[in-house]
Amino acid sequence: MELIDREKNETDVNMLSPLTWAYIGDAVYELYIRTKLVNNTKLKPHKLHIESIKYVKAKAQADILKNIEKNLSEQEKDIVRRARNAENHHLPKNADPADYMYSTAFEGLIGFLYLTKQDERLKEILKMCVE
């Protein structure tokens, strides 16, 4: 049994907006980072938050995507392109617009892999993010 039901098949997930993938990907990635920090440090909650921001801010995610892009399949690169080019009317407060687009693309990839139950590939990519 899955902890959280992911009921859509890949065709249905493909029909979702890339910004929806990014919405889910943001949560999945943040949970991954928070869990990793809790498992590997003895920090108190405020310090955990400060440390997690280093990984989840737009610039960090944009840099991660640029570093792992060469390891992505053609399908994954297409997902990244779709998410990066998605029309987003939200203007970032504390991020460079280019970094924000790349961070959205990164989150879109994470969300797509999660929603399509590509858990092994998702784990591989997440491990590349914090090495």
Residue ranges of the chain whose pLDDT lies below 50: 1
Q: Break the chain into its structural domains and give their ranges.
A: 19-129
pLDDT of amino acid 1: 47
Euclidean distance between CA atoms 68 and 125, whole angstroms: 8
pLDDT of amino acid 2: 63
Euclidean distance between CA atoms 30 and 114, whole angstroms: 13
Query: Which is catalytic among the residues 26, 63, 78, 99?
Result: 26
Torsion over CA: 125, 121, 86, 26 (sign): negative
Respond yes or no: is residue 26 known to be catalytic: yes
Output the six-digit token pair for 73: 């399949």
Q: What is the CA radius of gyration of the chain?
A: 15
The class level of CATH for 19-129 reads mainly alpha
pLDDT tens digits, residue range 5-31?
888 888 999 999 999 999 999 999 999
Local structure of 123: helix, strand or coil: helix
- pTM for the predicted model, two decimal places: 0.92
Output the six-digit token pair for 116: 């399509």
pLDDT of amino acid 124: 96
pLDDT of amino acid 91: 67
